[in-house]
């Protein structure tokens, strides 16, 4: 469903992502774990068709994002922790706006919006302007935006950043429901607990390269530790020393 | 380009702009408050200063002996204060007078040479000098000069009358010729001229001011607020984003400018009435409103596009303001040029961006604008605006600009790696603009009057159309075969082509006839055109005439319009836009307002035929048949007469319709649309 094949992004001599290859199957949640500046956001943006790869390919549902970014965006829900909302629109107006950009029919937009407003407990603030919403309410509106067109694939870039524990948990449950619905989810985070709770597999990324990948049990076993946090730190230390 | 997506972006931008109280205040409330305050305040201050100067008793220094009548008149009529008297003027009178006036001891100095009084009392002439300084801030000296000189003129006139009476001569003895100059310009014209000199720069600035905030807010503002990434997550093309934002900025700019102008117009009309109401009038009547609105359209189209293209580069509101300030300064130059006497809106100046707008406003207000000139300015400004919008769309494709990078300019201006073998829509629009300028000016060189019909036609078709088109394809890196649809038509398409070719003349004939009936001036134009083409058809041997009138246009114009332009516009994904846009370009390139409609409609049929068949040959054959039949008709009167019969025209229309129906979907299955 989501495929990255030798994906590379160069900015002059700096290589932000280097030969990244992995796949995310339908109904699977894969965690992209790495320290700040490791290249997670660059990889996710290339998969979402926002950035053009220098080489390699990013495919969603078999469509190359560099060749047909429009079709990739139709099939992808992209959400990040710092995605901003239009301050002078209400969440409901924003959802209608993005529904139209996704070529949804007006009745579909209204139906899906009502459903998401109910599912994400947005009734109280769906008709208030986004400028007056709390961080948690804003992120709920953003989740609704990413889920509105019912995409088969989700790319989530540190989506729980700055969220309180209740809203964060709410988001994680939404991801679990998406997995149950057969969606492929690629998820980047700093919080190992979230990865342990959600991910079927994890990818460790360091300085733009994938240094390990597998199920949580596999990466722990290879690092000869018990927890994901320990495995992550162990692999990062080794990679740093090797660099 | 999806109209629904553009509409959605337009609506969203407009909603956000109108919900910003600062924008609303700056757009509507501020002009309504500030303009009257500025105008009335200025008027009040001016009137108060004038009144004050009129009431001040002038302080006069008198050097030498003035005639008694003069001294008395000054004291009686002006209540002048004589602040200094000298029996004779000093050696350096100018320097001393300057000193006295600058120290405000005297407002003016009157210097009479020895014997002046005696000359006045006798029958000589008293040469009196008046010193004053009009540049002093108090303006007392300037005001006193007028009042004193008026009194001296009165004294002189009275003395002259007495002298004439004394000699028994009539009152007008010294005026063998009396010239009275009458200004026949109406009050409205004077008001229009005044407004025409003042308004162009103000109008441009108003449109600019109206467009600045939304242009920055929708681009740099969106980047600054972090919502651009949100938008980029959606399946929306850069051209759709820019088009939606552009339309919103244009609408806000026009609304804001109208609000400003209404406020200013009302204030200005009051001001003119207060200052010189008897000599001129200026009101924002319906005619002036239409004129201003007509001028607003091209101004808003262009300025909104320029502002949008500049603002997109900025990462923040403040940075955008830094980019835009130079543009505002640039606007002042043509705005000022339009106020200069002798600068006329000529065909050449109509193509100069901004200056053409300033001159257009002036001429519209004075009532000297012709439809052709207005259309030229509108088309030129729209073309420049389209280029700016496409540039902005290109900027929106640059991730270096949108998401930050070290070399955004290189990213924008580098040739893009593309999987498409044909041209892009922006390239087609740019090509049309270049062609328009090239043909417009090139026609001066390729003039049939200088080169003869054959030389002129060949020069236009080959040098100004064919060669630029081929070079454009070559240097764009596009494939010739796919861009120009160089493939053979299918059998079905060929059958459709023959039917279309046999009846296409009727389409042009009907449109031409309708235009000649309803559009004033069209009939003489078509008569002249028929005379020129008919003359050429008879002047050359048949093969040469057919080659010049039918062969060359069928090849050169088809390559230009159904090849380069339509192929590029097909990249928008809209067949209607590709056919309509190329037809419009085809019409415009004939450089006559009467020629646009018939050629554009002919272009619609040719474009449809080429796009549906996937073969340029189809359009070329139909074009050749259309023009070739005109040659035959000129040479064989019986054919000409037959082509005018309603039955023949009806049958031809049926043939053309059947041909277009057959051509529909006749493209070879292996060749997808460009």
- The average pLDDT across B22-31 equals 72
Q: Does B98 touch chain A (CB under 8 A)?
A: no
Q: Cβ separation of A82 and B235 shorter than 8 Å?
A: no
Q: In the predicted model, is pLDDT for residue B473 greater than 80?
A: yes
**DSSP assignment of B499-545, as one string?**
HHHHHHHHHHHHHHHHHHHHSTTHHHHHHHHHHHHHHHHHHS-HHHH
- The average pLDDT across B3-23 equals 86
Q: What's the pLDDT band for B419 if we cut at 50, 70, 90? A: very low
Q: In the predicted model, is pLDDT for residue B280 greater than 60?
A: no
* Residue showing tokens 């961080």: A135
- The three-state secondary structure class of A153 is strand
Confidence (pLDDT) at B380: 82
- Segment (H or E) for A18: strand A14-24
Tell me the chain A residues in contact with residue B2 when contact means C-beta distances shorter than 8 Å: 103
CA dihedral for A35, A37, A41, A43, sign (positive or negative): negative
Which of B334, B333, B325 lies closest to B307, judged by CA? B325
Burial class (CB in 10 A: 0-12, 13-18, 19+), A157: buried
Q: Does B635 touch chain A (CB under 8 A)?
A: no
Tell me the sheet residues that pair with B62: B85, B110
Structure tokens at A219: 């990466």
Q: In the predicted model, is pLDDT for residue B89 greater than 70?
A: yes
Confidence (pLDDT) at A64: 86
Q: Does A13 touch chain B (CB under 8 A)?
A: no
Alpha carbon distance, N-terminus to C-terminus of chain A: 33
Structure tokens at B500: 């279309």
B575-626 pLDDT tens trace: 888 899 899 989 888 877 778 888 999 999 999 999 999 899 999 999 999 9
Confidence (pLDDT) at B271: 62
Nearest CA in chain A to B12: A97
Q: In the predicted model, is pLDDT for residue B411 greater than 60?
A: no
Q: Does A30 touch chain B (CB under 8 A)?
A: no
**DSSP assignment of B125-171, as one string?**
----EEE--TTSTT-HHHHHHHHHHHHHHHHHHHHHHHHHHHTT--T
User: How many CB atoms within 10 Å of residue B475?
Assistant: 9
Structure tokens at B529: 């055109």
Q: Cβ separation of B229 and A84 shorter than 8 Å?
A: yes
pLDDT cut 70: percent of chain B above it: 84
The domains of chain A are located at 2-83+152-242
* Residue showing tokens 């109406």: B186
Nearest CA in chain B to A73: B235
Least confident interval from A152-161, B414-423, B532-541, B597-606: B414-423
Q: Does A197 touch chain B (CB under 8 A)?
A: no
Q: Cβ separation of A50 and B234 shorter than 8 Å?
A: no
CA-CA distances (angstroms) from residue A51 to A9, A209, B205, B413?
9, 18, 38, 18
CA dihedral for B325, B329, B332, B334, sign (positive or negative): negative
Q: Does B234 touch chain A (CB under 8 A)?
A: yes
Confidence (pLDDT) at B672: 43
Phi then psi dihedrals of residue B65, to 5 deg: -105, 115
Q: Which of B1, B234, B245, B396 to mutate to test the interface with A (most CBs of A within 10 A)?
A: B234
Q: Cβ separation of B233 and A11 shorter than 8 Å?
A: no
Query: How far is Cα B124 from Cα B333, in angstroms, rounded to an integer?
Result: 54
Residue pairs between chains A and B whose CB atoms are closer than 8 Å? 78
Structure tokens at B204: 């441009």
Query: How far is Cα B250 from Cα B303, in angstroms, rounded to an integer?
Result: 8
Confidence (pLDDT) at B553: 92
pLDDT: is B451 or B564 the higher one?
Answer: B564
Confidence (pLDDT) at A109: 93
B330-368 pLDDT tens trace: 777 776 776 676 777 787 788 877 788 778 877 777 666
Structure tokens at A109: 């937009």
Confidence (pLDDT) at B274: 56
Tell me the sheet residues that pair with B111: B63, B129
Q: In the predicted model, is pLDDT for residue B9 greater than 70?
A: yes
Q: Cβ separation of A84 and B405 shorter than 8 Å?
A: no
- The three-state secondary structure class of A20 is strand
Q: In the predicted model, is pLDDT for residue B231 greater than 50?
A: yes
Confidence (pLDDT) at B62: 92
A84: nearest CB among B15, B226, B236? B226
User: How many CB atoms within 10 Å of residue B646?
Assistant: 7
Q: Cβ separation of A100 and B8 shorter than 8 Å?
A: yes
Are A162 and A150 in contact by the 8 Å Cβ rule? The answer is: no
Residues 125 to 164 of A: which have CB under 8 A from any B CB?
Answer: 129, 142, 145-146
Query: How far is Cα B663 from Cα B674, in angstroms, rounded to an integer?
Result: 17
Q: Cβ separation of B229 and A50 shorter than 8 Å?
A: yes
pLDDT: is B459 or B591 the higher one?
Answer: B459
Mean pLDDT of chain B: 81
Q: Does A61 touch chain B (CB under 8 A)?
A: no
**Looking at B565-640, which runs of residues are DSSP E strands?**
none
Least confident interval from B42-46, B106-110, B540-544: B42-46
Angle between helices B593-613 and B491-518 (to 10 degrees): 160
Nearest CA in chain A to B6: A101
CA dihedral for B191, B193, B194, B195, sign (positive or negative): positive
Tell me the chain B residues in contact with residue A12 when contact means C-beta distances shorter than 8 Å: 406-407
pLDDT cut 90: percent of chain B above it: 12
Most confident of A25-29, A51-55, B393-397, B513-517: A25-29
Phi then psi dihedrals of residue B107, to 5 deg: -85, -40
Tell me the sheet residues that pair with B145: none
Tell me the chain B residues in contact with residue A84 when contact means C-beta distances shorter than 8 Å: 225-227, 229-230
CA-CA distances (angstroms) from residue B379 to B43, B233, B251, B354, B375?
40, 36, 19, 13, 6
**DSSP assignment of A62-130, as one string?**
TEETTT-HHHHHHTEEEEETT----TTS-HHHHHHHHHHHTT--HHHHHHHHHHHHHHTT-TTTTTS-G
Tell me the chain A residues in contact with residue B9 when contact means C-beta distances shorter than 8 Å: 101
The gap from C-alpha A136 to its chain's centroid, in whole angstroms, comes to 17
Nearest CA in chain B to A82: B226
Q: Cβ separation of A82 and B406 shorter than 8 Å?
A: no
The domains of chain B are located at 3-41+186-414, 56-166, 444-663
Are B572 and B579 in contact by the 8 Å Cβ rule? The answer is: no
Q: Which of A17, A76, A101, A161 to mutate to test the interface with B (most CBs of B within 10 A)?
A: A101
Q: What's the pLDDT band for B278 if we cut at 50, 70, 90? A: low
Q: Please tell me the class of the B56-166 domain.
A: alpha beta
Q: In the predicted model, is pLDDT for residue B674 greater than 60?
A: no
Residues 60 to 89 of B: which have CB under 8 A from any A CB?
Answer: none
Q: Cβ separation of A101 and B235 shorter than 8 Å?
A: yes
CA dihedral for B665, B666, B672, B674, sign (positive or negative): negative
Provide the shortest C-alpha distance from residue A101 to chain B (in Å): 5
- Alpha-carbon torsion, ordered B434, B439, B440, B443, to 10 deg: 160
Which of B235, B408, B391 lies closest to B314, judged by CA? B408
Q: Which of A46, A86, A93 to mutate to test the interface with B (most CBs of B within 10 A)?
A: A86
Per-residue pLDDT tens, chain A, 243 aa: give them. Answer: 888 888 898 877 888 888 889 889 898 999 998 888 888 888 888 888 888 888 888 888 888 887 888 888 889 888 877 778 898 899 999 999 999 999 999 999 999 999 889 888 888 899 999 888 888 888 888 889 988 988 999 998 888 876 777 777 888 888 888 889 888 999 888 888 888 888 889 999 988 888 888 888 898 888 888 888 888 888 888 887 876
Tell me the chain A residues in contact with residue B5 when contact means C-beta distances shorter than 8 Å: 100-101, 103
Are A75 and A26 in contact by the 8 Å Cβ rule? The answer is: no
Q: Does B229 touch chain A (CB under 8 A)?
A: yes
Least confident interval from A157-166, B7-16, B251-260, B470-479: A157-166
Architecture of domain A2-83+152-242 in CATH?
Answer: 3-Layer(aba) Sandwich (3.40)
Structure tokens at B669: 């299955």
- The average pLDDT across B481-508 equals 87
Tell me the chain A residues in contact with residue B225 when contact means C-beta distances shorter than 8 Å: 84, 87
Q: Does A55 touch chain B (CB under 8 A)?
A: no
Q: In the predicted model, is pLDDT for residue B308 greater than 70?
A: yes
Which of B85, B138, B137, B140 lies closest to B108, judged by CA? B140
Residues 6+ apart with CB under 8 A from B295: B203, B357, B360, B361, B364
Which of B208, B234, B225 lies closest to B9, judged by CA? B234
Residues 6+ apart with CB under 8 A from B153: none
Structure tokens at B466: 């064919």
User: How many CB atoms within 10 Å of residue B342?
Assistant: 4
Q: Cβ separation of A146 and B20 shorter than 8 Å?
A: no
Q: In the predicted model, is pLDDT for residue B178 greater than 70?
A: yes
Which of A30, A35, A53 lies closest to A43, judged by CA? A53
């Amino acid at each position: 469903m989501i495929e990255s094949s030798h994906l590379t992004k160069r900015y002059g001599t700096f290589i932000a992502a280097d030969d990244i290859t992995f796949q995310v199957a339908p109904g699977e949640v894969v965690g992209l774990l790495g320290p700040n500046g490791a290249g997670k956001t660059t990889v996710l943006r290339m998969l979402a068709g926002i950035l053009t790869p220098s080489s390699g390919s990013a495919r969603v549902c078999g469509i190359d994002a560099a060749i047909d970014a429009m079709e990739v965006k139709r099939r992808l829900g992209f959400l990040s922790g710092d995605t901003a909302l239009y301050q002078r629109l209400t969440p409901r107006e924003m959802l209608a706006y993005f529904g139209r950009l996704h070529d949804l029919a007006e009745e579909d937009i209204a139906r899906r919006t009502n459903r998401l407003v109910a599912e994400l407990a947005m009734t109280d603030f769906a008709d208030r302007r986004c400028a007056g919403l709390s961080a948690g309410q804003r992120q709920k509106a953003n989740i609704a935006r990413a889920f509105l067109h019912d995409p088969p694939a989700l790319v989530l870039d540190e989506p729980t950043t700055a969220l309180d524990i209740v809203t964060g948990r709410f988001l994680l449950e939404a991801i679990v429901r998406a997995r149950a619905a057969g969606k492929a989810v690629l998820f980047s985070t700093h919080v190992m607990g979230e990865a342990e709770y959600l991910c079927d597999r994890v990818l460790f990324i360091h300085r733009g390269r994938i240094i390990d990948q597998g199920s949580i049990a596999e990466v722990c076993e290879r690092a000869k530790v018990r927890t994901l946090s320990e495995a992550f730190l162990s692999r990062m230390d080794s990679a740093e020393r090797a660099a | 380009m999806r109209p629904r997506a553009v509409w959605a972006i337009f609506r969203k931008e407009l909603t956000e702009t109108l919900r910003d109280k600062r924008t609303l205040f700056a757009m509507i409330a501020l002009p309504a408050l500030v303009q009257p305050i500025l105008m009335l305040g200025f008027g009040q201050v001016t009137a108060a200063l004038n009144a004050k100067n009129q009431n001040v008793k002038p302080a006069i220094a008198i050097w030498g002996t003035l005639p008694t009548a003069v001294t008395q008149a000054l004291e009686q009529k002006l209540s002048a204060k004589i602040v200094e008297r000298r029996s004779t003027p000093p050696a350096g009178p100018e320097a001393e007078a300057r000193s006295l006036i600058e120290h405000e001891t005297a407002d003016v100095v009157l210097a009479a040479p020895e014997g002046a009084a005696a000359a006045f009392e006798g029958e000589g002439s008293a040469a009196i000098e008046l010193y004053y300084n009009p540049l002093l801030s108090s303006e007392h000296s300037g005001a006193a000069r007028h009042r004193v000189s008026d009194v001296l003129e009165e004294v002189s006139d009275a003395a002259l009358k007495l002298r004439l009476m004394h000699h028994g001569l009539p009152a007008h003895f010294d005026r063998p010729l009396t010239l009275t100059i009458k200004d026949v310009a109406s009050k409205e014209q004077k008001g229009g001229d005044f407004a025409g000199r003042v308004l162009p720069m103000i109008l441009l600035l108003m449109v600019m001011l109206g467009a600045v905030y939304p242009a920055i807010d929708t681009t740099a503002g969106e980047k600054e607020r972090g919502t651009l990434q949100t938008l980029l997550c959606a399946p929306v093309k850069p051209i759709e984003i820019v088009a939606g934002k552009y339309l919103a900025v244009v609408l806000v700019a026009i609304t804001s400018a109208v609000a400003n102008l209404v406020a200013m117009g009302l204030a200005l009309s009051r001001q003119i009435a207060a200052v010189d109401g008897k000599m001129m009038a200026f009101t924002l009547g319906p005619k002036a409103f239409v004129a201003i609105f007509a001028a607003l359209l091209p101004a808003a189209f262009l300025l909104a596009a320029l502002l949008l293209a500049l603002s997109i580069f900025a990462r923040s509101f403040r940075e955008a303001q830094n980019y835009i300030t130079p543009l505002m300064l640039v606007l002042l130059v043509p705005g000022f040029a339009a106020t200069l006497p002798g600068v006329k809106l000529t065909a050449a100046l109509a193509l100069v961006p901004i200056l053409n707008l300033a001159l257009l406003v002036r001429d519209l207000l004075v009532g000297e604008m012709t439809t052709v000139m207005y259309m030229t300015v509108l088309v030129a400004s729209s073309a420049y605006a389209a280029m700016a919008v496409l540039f902005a769309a290109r900027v929106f494709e640059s991730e270096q600009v949108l998401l930050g990078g070290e070399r955004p300019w290189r990213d924008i201006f580098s040739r893009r790696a593309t999987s498409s073998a044909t041209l892009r829509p922006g390239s087609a629009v740019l090509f049309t603009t270049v062609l328009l300028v090239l043909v417009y000016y090139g026609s001066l060189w390729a003039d049939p009057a200088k080169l003869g019909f054959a030389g002129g036609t060949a020069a236009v078709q080959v040098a100004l159309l064919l060669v630029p088109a081929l070079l454009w394809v070559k240097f764009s890196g596009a494939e010739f075969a796919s861009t120009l649809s160089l493939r053979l038509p299918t059998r079905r398409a060929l059958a459709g082509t023959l039917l279309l070719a046999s009846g296409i003349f009727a389409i042009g004939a009907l449109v031409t006839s309708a235009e000649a009936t309803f559009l004033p001036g069209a009939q003489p134009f078509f008569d002249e055109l028929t005379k020129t083409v008919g003359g050429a058809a008879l002047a050359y041997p048949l093969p040469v005439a057919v080659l010049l009138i039918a062969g060359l246009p069928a090849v050169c114009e088809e390559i230009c319009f159904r090849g380069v332009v339509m192929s590029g516009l097909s990249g928008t994904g809209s067949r209607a836009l590709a056919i309509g846009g190329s037809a419009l370009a085809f019409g415009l390139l004939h450089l006559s307002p009467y020629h646009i409609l018939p050629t554009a409609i002919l272009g619609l049929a040719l474009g449809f035929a080429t796009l549906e068949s996937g073969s340029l040959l189809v359009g070329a054959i139909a074009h050749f048949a259309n023009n070739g039949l005109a040659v035959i008709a000129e040479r064989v009167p019986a054919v000409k007469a037959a082509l005018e019969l309603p039955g023949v025209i009806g049958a031809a229309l049926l043939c053309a319709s059947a041909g277009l129906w057959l051509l529909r979907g006749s493209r070879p299955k292996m060749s997808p649309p460009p």
